[in-house]
């Protein structure tokens, strides 16, 4: 296979980031988009210059001119449609969080293995040079032994019909933006947390609008995580080491010129890391390489399992159903 033929499941808003990248990716060809509503599929295909509009996700999965699907459905629908896509022999790039429980991730892993397809969670930051540089510096002892990770992602959510307000569809701030700092903390700790305390404020719809968690990882590392819909847009990552501190103001959606600040021995040093002009570029290129060239996926299903375990611990500690 030299070109990956793509289908998209659902007419989600987030496809505005993905579709231009698929159109430009030399080893990708965007074939079709499916919607629950036939007219919406046609309209979206027209808007995004996608050759074919398909009525229903199952109809798209049944086509033999599609090798891979991008899956940006509401969070609680990730697992059933990833499993259906894998059973139809399609590789899947699924939006975050891959699963809303660890057991869902296990079922997706089983489906991916049984049907020999690549399934990976779409976390753009994991593909960016900034993240590799942060990991490289920490592994090289830039701040000594890591004991604290302080990280969060908030924005002021205002749309009243947002799927993020539906508990049944896997809504809430923790699943939506909390997945970024939680997965990052697991990446730096190279482990799922072993314990959590957490608290959350619920909105009128009953999903968490703000969630704050303290995580304990094996190896004497603690993390403080914030996810929120009520505070203005803000992201942060601070790593507290025995010999210094590392700060990353744009850890999850870095711009093309992202900054890492290292503070050590009273000296502060800012370094700029050059990243992608568009955040989905490297993620799509890496996914394509995993399918066509057999290179290991950047975000493995074990990574997603670890993230799902951490999210489950936090939800239980915060009393979220
Ligand atoms: N990586 C990122 O930067 C990023 C950014 C935003 C969102 N996301 C992720 O992408 C996913 C979608 O988010 P979004 O904000 O783009 O969602 P959205 O605009 O609300 O779209 C969700 C789509 O899912 C389909 N759908 C199927 N069943 C549905 C149901 N019961 N209710 C509502 N929609 C249903 C709909 O498509 P049809 O009706 O056409 O079938 C709808 O267009 C989420 O997992 C989110 O976490 C990622």
Structural domains in the chain?
4-123+281-296 (3.40.50.720), 125-277+306-318 (3.30.360.10)
> What would the mean pLDDT of 235-252 be, rounded to a whole number?
98
Q: How far apart are CA 81 and CA 93, in angstroms?
A: 11
Mean pLDDT of 55-69: 98
* Residue that the structure tokens 């808007």 belong to: 47
Span 254-283, pLDDT tens digits: 999 999 999 999 999 999 999 999 999 999
Confidence of residue 301 (pLDDT cuts 50, 70, 90): very high
Most informative mutation of 69, 74, 128, 176 for ligand 1 (most atoms within 8 A of CB): 74
Residues paired with residue 91 on neighbouring β-strands, in sequence order = 68
What's the CA gap between 13 and 21, in Å, rounded? Answer: 15
CB atoms near residue 116 (< 10 Å)? 9
Residue 194 pLDDT more than 90?
A: yes
Integer Rg of the chain from CA: 20
Confidence band for 49, pLDDT divided at 50, 70 and 90: very high
Q: How far, in Å, is the centroid of ligand 1 from the Cα of 164?
A: 9
Tell which atom from ligand 1 comes closest to the C-alpha of 124: 1
Residue having the nearest C-alpha atom to atom 17 of ligand 1: 12
Put simply, whether the predicted model's pTM sits higher than 0.85 gets the answer yes
Ligand 1 centroid to 127 CA: how many Å?
Answer: 22
Q: For residue range 128-159, list pLDDT tens digits in order.
A: 999 999 999 999 999 999 999 999 999 999 99
Q: How far is the CA of 72 from the centre of ligand 1 (A)?
A: 5
Residue 14 CA, closest ligand 1 atom number: 16
**Tens digits of residue pLDDT in 18-32:** 999 999 999 999 999
Catalogue the long-range contacts made by 110-117 (C-beta closer than 8 Å, 24 or more residues apart).
Answer: 111/82, 111/83, 111/86, 111/87, 112/86, 112/301, 114/86, 115/86, 115/87, 115/89, 117/85, 117/86, 117/89, 117/90, 117/91, 117/92
Q: List, in order, residues 6 or more apart from 40 with CB less than 8 Å away.
A: 11
The whole-number pLDDT of residue 1 equals 85
Phi, psi of 59, rounded to the nearest 5 degrees = -65, -35
121 CB under 6 A from ligand 1? no
- Is 212 strand, coil or helix? strand
- Torsional sign, CA 299, 301, 302, 304: positive
| Exposure class string for 22-36: b at 16+ Cβ within 10 A, else e | beebeebbbbbbbbe
Closest to 279 in 3D by CA, of 161, 123, 47, 142: 123
Q: Is residue 321 scored above 90 in pLDDT?
A: no
Q: Which of 73, 254, 279, 299 to mutate to test the pocket of ligand 1 (most atoms within 8 A of CB)?
A: 73
pLDDT at position 78 over 90:
yes
CA pair distance 176, 166, nearest whole angstrom: 12
Question: Which of 15, 16, 53, 72 gets mutated to test ligand 1 (max ligand atoms within 8 A of its CB)?
Answer: 72
Backbone torsions φ then ψ of 57, nearest 5 degrees: -70, -40
Q: 96 CB under 6 A from ligand 1?
A: yes
Q: Does the Cβ of 9 fall within 6 Å of ligand 1?
A: no
């Amino acid at each position: 296979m030299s070109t990956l033929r793509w289908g998209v499941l659902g007419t989600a808003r987030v496809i505005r980031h993905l579709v231009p990248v698929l159109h430009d990716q030399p080893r990708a060809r965007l074939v079709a988009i499916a919607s629950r509503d036939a007219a919406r599929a046609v309209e979206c295909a027209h808007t995004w210059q996608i050759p074919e509009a398909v009525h229903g996700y199952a109809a798209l999965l049944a086509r033999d001119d599609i090798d891979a699907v991008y899956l940006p459905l509401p969070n609680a629908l990730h697992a059933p449609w990833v499993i259906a896509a894998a059973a139809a022999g399609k590789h899947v790039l699924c939006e975050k969080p891959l699963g809303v429980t660890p057991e869902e991730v296990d079922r997706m892993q089983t489906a991916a293995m049984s049907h020999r397809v690549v399934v990976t969670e779409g976390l753009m930051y994991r593909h960016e040079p900034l993240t590799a540089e942060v990991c490289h510096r920490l592994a090289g002892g830039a701040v000594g032994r890591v004991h604290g990770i302080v990280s969060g992602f908030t924005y002021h959510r205002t749309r009243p019909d947002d799927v993020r307000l539906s508990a049944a569809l896997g809504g809430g701030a923790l699943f939506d933006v909390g997945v970024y700092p939680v997965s990052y903390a697991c990446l730096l700790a190279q482990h799922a947390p072993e314990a959590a305390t957490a608290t959350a404020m619920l909105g009128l719809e009953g999903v968490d609008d703000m969630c704050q968690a303290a995580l304990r990882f094996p190896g004497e590392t603690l993390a403080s995580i914030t996810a929120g819909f009520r505070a203005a847009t803000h992201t942060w990552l601070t790593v507290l080491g025995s010999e210094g501190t590392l700060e990353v103001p744009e850890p999850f959606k870095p711009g093309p010129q992202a900054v890492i600040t290292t503070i050590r021995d009273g000296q502060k040093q800012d370094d700029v890391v050059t990243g992608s002009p568009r955040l989905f570029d490297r993620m799509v290129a890496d996914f394509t390489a995993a399918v066509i060239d057999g290179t290991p996926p950047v975000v493995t299903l074990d990574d997603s399992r670890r993230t799902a375990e951490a999210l489950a611990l936090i939800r239980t500690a915060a009393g979220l159903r």
